[in-house]
Amino acid sequence: MRTLFILVVASFVMFLAPGATAAQVVDVSDLDQNPQAYDGQVVTLEGELIGDYGIRGDEVWVQLNDDPYIENPIPGGGAPAGGNQGIGLRIPVEIFDPEGWGPPGSVRYRGPLVQVVGEFRYHAADASGETFVQVVDITLLDPARPLPSGELGTPGRIGIALLVLAALIFAAARYRARPPRG
């Protein structure tokens, strides 16, 4: 009920004053730096859905990252550029579309890039103190794409050679340590 109410109010606000939502385009770091200032505000965020889709009844929890890796994750050839930056999203199941979006980001996928509009909740009293964005609208910008799973490669081949060598040495040690016959 509450979700529906927020959805209606937010849509109304967006329809009447598009400038108001445009002014609220934020980064995760803005929310992290000034949580009390944004608490209860409708904000717009862009980023990659990552980790797991936690489907809990009529809502889905997922993390949204907006760090440098949303375009170039390290397994896809990106360079290290600091830590991740993310926030939890609570999405009503009615606007959750895993088939259209693709799997969340991981080592196997660059997750779907989305734009979300929602209310920022800081230590929400009705959610036992969770901090998250209650999503009212979500737009897919780019669906998930698979990342290369790679191959055993040179490290793997050297590793196998070393293991064979270790096995030979171990066998020789056992042979030498065998009890004398008779």
Residues in contact with another protein, shown as a per-residue x/- string from 10 to 29 under the rule CB under 8 A = -------------------x
In the complex, the smallest distance separating the C-beta of residue 13 from another protein, rounded to whole angstroms, is 25
CB of 154 to another protein, least distance (A): 8
Interface residue with another protein, options 15, 19, 99, 176 (CB under 8 A): 176
Residue 71 sits in the site that holds another protein (CB under 8 A): no
Footprint (CB under 8 A) of another protein, residues 51-70: 51-56, 60-61, 63, 65, 67, 69
Cβ-in-10-Å burial (0-12, 13-18, 19+) of 53 comes to middle
Contacts of 34 (CB under 8 A, 6+ apart): none
> Which of 6, 13, 24, 35 is in the footprint of another protein by CB under 8 A?
35
Phi first, then psi, for residue 10 (nearest 5°) are -65, -40
Number of neighbouring beta carbons within 10 Å of residue 151: 7
| E-assigned strand segments in 6-112 | 42-56, 59-65, 86-92, 109-110
Residues ≥6 apart with Cβ < 8 Å to 9 = none
Among 123, 141, 145, 146, binds another protein (CB under 8 A): 123
69 CB burial (10 A radius; 0-12, 13-18, 19+): buried
Interface residues with another protein (CB under 8 A) are 29, 32-33, 35, 50-56, 60-61, 63, 65, 67, 69, 73-76, 78, 80-88, 105-107, 110, 123-125, 128-132, 147, 149-163, 165-167, 169-170, 172-174, 176-177
